[in-house]
Chain A
Amino acid sequence: MTPQQKEAWLARAMASYGTPLLRMAYVYLGDRALAEDAVQETFLKAYRRLETFRGESAEQTWLTRIAINTCVSLGRTAWMRSVWRSPPLDELPEPIGEDETRDDTVLRAVMDLPGPLRQVVVLRYYQEMKVSDVADALGISRNAVSTRLARARTRLRAALKGWYFDEQQDDPAGDR
């Protein structure tokens, strides 16, 4: 692949996936600036590894894997844990639209989950990846993913009581 082709791919990928990846990284990291960093890092890594992308998954899935690994790596960094703190959600720009869209309940519930549980919830329910793909992306077994999802659902059920669990039982993805 020529450098020109790689740059064309990068321009297209950034235009198409930048925003979805930023939101995912934000939900995972809980910090806008770090999420921006993670997305930038994701595209740089993807650009450098473009030759290894073979097309067995959609571009977005491939980029999501890189992004989540970048987020995991950023999340592990000691200085980030000690220096940066998640800004309150109130600092987020107000959404445009009905009052319903200003509801922070779900976002806050997900962001309050412990890291390992938040990882699987973000990938499974926000990125809507299959359990097997989540396992691949995180480098853990499918059983481990299922166990973490079950634990996360228990916590979300408590946090989102009255929000929709009473109607949708126990599948927050709504895709049983």
Chain B
Amino acid sequence: MNSKTIRQAIDDRLQTMEWHGETSVWRSLRSSSRGRASHRVSVRLAAALCAMTILACATALAARGLLFSPRQTASQQAHALMQSQYGFSEETLALFDETIAEDGGSWTITFTLPAYAEQAGAYTVRGGSGVARAEWSHDGAEVSPDAALSAPIWGPMQVERMRVLYHEHAEALAAAEAKGGYGSLSIEEKAAIDAPLLELPHVVGVIHVLPAADDITPEEALEEARGIYSLERGISAGAAAQVPAAVSLLSDGNESYYDVLFTEADGGSFRVLIGAASAVPDSGLRVGTLLRVEDGARLLYDKAEGVNAIPGPEEDPDVDAMTHAERAACAAEQIAAGGDPREWNYLLPGEGDIAEEEAVALAKEAISARLGLDQDALDAMTLETRFWLDYDLGEEPVRAWWVRFVDNINDYQVTLRAGDGRVESLDLMDGALGVG
């Protein structure tokens, strides 16, 4: 009669079975990065062929107390010294990348902490002839008495703090999974689980974060992703809205991005990654840069890799025939579908921008002052206006009005800052003279 679950019963029985294969993984990675990836296969096959011999030898050696190879013995000595001299626990030592070099009868083992080698320094243990000795590259340096990971130098206390952080994070993930499934957690809940990892000097891998103040919202990212999904699937926006979608916000340490995953009834999936920062900052446009689109295992678009298998529109929309509002909406759609924000730079004027009438009046004044034209002559010409982000006026894009007076002979174009109406440029695109 037992109230244990299968998991509890198995864990109890296997409680002493622990994994300490970190060093082997690091070693394999170093080997493969040096082009020796196939080594493992041959070792495995050799092991299979010699299995019985090895077992027999191991049994014989074990009976004589000689089971450990010289490397293993050296490693054990080094671990013991690291524990007695520096106070590391075996669990903490497992975080280190351990490399061994042999020279005749002596050996040197180096312990470095992956990704935080600068902070933790390198521990070197030498042995083989005489008493083994350990030294630390930061020996003599001042180590903070508390465990804060912001310290420039990490001693055993800080490394232990890192281990505890990792352990607690794993426990929190497991608890969330046990509670009802990690996938159903909100962006806030996932970010709260990962938040303690931000204590580390730099972001570790991919972590869940909260949107920054200027970031597009999860709802905006979802809407943008749905637009792409409906286009790709050839379904209406309404139908796309019926497909379940999970939204995560992730950071890889360089940028934050939304990960929107659509799960279809037939088991298919469609994923859209969108930059969380606005593609057109300070523009009022609420779209993020499209980073990647996956249809199941098929990559449709990847900004970084230059992959674009998303069919574009049949032809560019006729922006000249559109109103300001239509142009701004069209630009947002184009950017969402992977268009270049510099090309699709149309916006709507907002608070703090001068009105269209004022921009036109200021443009007329500027042209008249420079060319001596009277207002009536300009009124007789065709007027065109655009409101956009001008990328040519400085390092940062500027909200600007572009005003054009054109007829069969002359073509005058004025660019004004939308904030204060200052004329930034006045171009005379005179066809007869060929000047600009």
> Which of B4, B205, B254, B261 is close to A9, meaning CB atoms less than 8 Å apart?
B205
Which residues of chain A are near B203, meaning CB under 8 Å?
5
Query: Quick one: CB contact mask for A8-41 with B, threshold 8 Å, 1 for yes?
Result: 1111111111110111001100001000110110
With A56-B248, A164-B4 in contact, is A21–B19 under 8 Å at CB?
A: yes
Report yes or no: A103 in contact with B13, Cβ–Cβ below 8 A: yes
Q: Closest approach, in angstroms, between the C-beta of B259 and any C-beta of chain A?
A: 5
Q: Report the bound CA distance from A59 to B19 in whole Å.
A: 18
Of the 9-residue stretches B24-32, B309-317, B390-398, which lies at the interface with chain A?
B24-32
Question: A11 near B115 (CB under 8 angstroms)?
Answer: yes
Return B299 CB to nearest CB of chain A, in Å.
11
A44, B28: Cβ atoms under 8 Å? yes
Interface centre among B116, B170, B190 (most CB of A within 10 A): B170
- Tally A residues with Cβ within 8 Å of B: 75
Question: What are the interface flags for B256-267 relative to A under an 8 Å C-beta threshold, 1 for contact and 0 otherwise?
Answer: 000101000000
Whole-angstrom distance between the Cβ of B173 and the nearest chain A Cβ: 5
A15 touching B95, Cβ below 8 Å: yes
The A-B contact count (CB < 8 A) is 211
The one of A8, A60, A164, A166 in contact with B174, judged by C-beta atoms closer than 8 angstroms, is A60
Classify chain B: how many residues form its interface, as a range: 35 or more
B204 A12 Cβ-Cβ under 8 A: yes
Asked whether, in the complex, the Cβ of A106 is within 8 Å of the Cβ of B13, the reply is yes
> With A and B bound together, what is the CA distance between A167 and B10 in angstroms?
19
- Near A by CB (< 8 A), chain B positions 1-50 give 1-7, 9-22, 24-25, 28-29, 32, 44-45, 48
Q: What CA separation (Å) do A158 and B19 show in the bound complex?
A: 32
Contact of B45 among A36, A54, A79 (CB under 8 A): A79
A80 and B12 alpha carbons, distance in the complex (Å): 28
Partner of B204, one of A8, A21, A56: A8
Closest to A12 in B: B166
Please give me the residue from chain A that is nearest to B17 by CB atom: A23
A95 at the interface (CB under 8 A from B): yes
* Residues of A37-67 contacting chain B, CB below 8 A: 37, 39-40, 43-44, 47, 50, 53-61
Task: Report Cα–Cα, A85/B124, bound state, in Å.
Answer: 40
CB atoms of A11 and B95 under 8 A apart: yes
Which residues on the B side are within 8 Å of A27 (C-beta)? Answer: 10, 14
Q: Hey, which chain A residues are within 8 Å of B32, CB to CB?
A: 44
Bound complex: CA of A103 vs CA of B253, how far in Å?
47
Given A1-B206, A17-B170, A44-B29, A60:B14 Cβ within 8 A: no
- Judge whether B166 and A19 touch: CB under 8 Å: no
Q: What residues make up the interface of B, taking CB atoms closer than 8 Å to A?
A: 1-7, 9-22, 24-25, 28-29, 32, 44-45, 48, 51, 91, 94-95, 113-116, 163, 166-167, 169-170, 173-174, 176-178, 181-183, 190, 197, 200, 202-206, 208, 246, 248, 250, 252-254, 259, 261, 271, 273
Q: Given A5-B203, A11-B113, A16-B170, 5 other A-B contacts at CB below 8 A?
A: A11-B114, A22-B17, A92-B17, A106-B6, A126-B6
**Mind listing 23 A-B residue pairs with CB under 8 Å?**
A4-B115, A5-B252, A12-B205, A13-B205, A15-B163, A15-B167, A15-B170, A19-B17, A23-B17, A40-B25, A40-B28, A47-B25, A54-B261, A54-B271, A55-B248, A84-B51, A92-B16, A107-B13, A125-B5, A126-B10, A163-B2, A167-B2, A167-B3
